[in-house]
Amino acid sequence: MELQTGKPQKKGNKPGPAYAYNIKKLRDQEMHLAEQAQRSYERFVETWRPRPPNQKARGRLNPARLE
């Protein structure tokens, strides 16, 4: 329809959505960002310690279990 109304043809020399994958610099930047995120996550997991349960809150919420 567009051609019939006089619009020019759309020829295909436009890069698609995956074009950035072909640019090595962008791939390297994404890889660097992913490595940083992985290291940050590993540090977080190493230092994570579970909290002991709060006895006051447990007693108040579940009074039947205290007896």
16: its two tokens: 């698609």
Q: What is the pLDDT of residues 1-50, one digit of tens each?
A: 788 888 887 777 777 778 777 889 989 999 999 999 999 999 999 998 88
How far apart are alpha carbons 53 and 39 in whole angstroms?
29
- What pLDDT does residue 15 have? 78
52 pLDDT more than 60: yes
Q: HEC states along the chain?
A: CHHHHCCCCCCCCCCCCCHHHHCHHHHHHHHHHHHHHHHHHHHHHHHCCCCCCCHHHHHHHCHHHHC
Rounded to two decimals, what is the model's pTM? Answer: 0.49
How far apart are alpha carbons 21 and 41 in whole angstroms?
25
Q: Where are the domains of the chain?
A: 17-46
59 pLDDT more than 60: no
How far apart are alpha carbons 58 and 67 in whole angstroms?
13
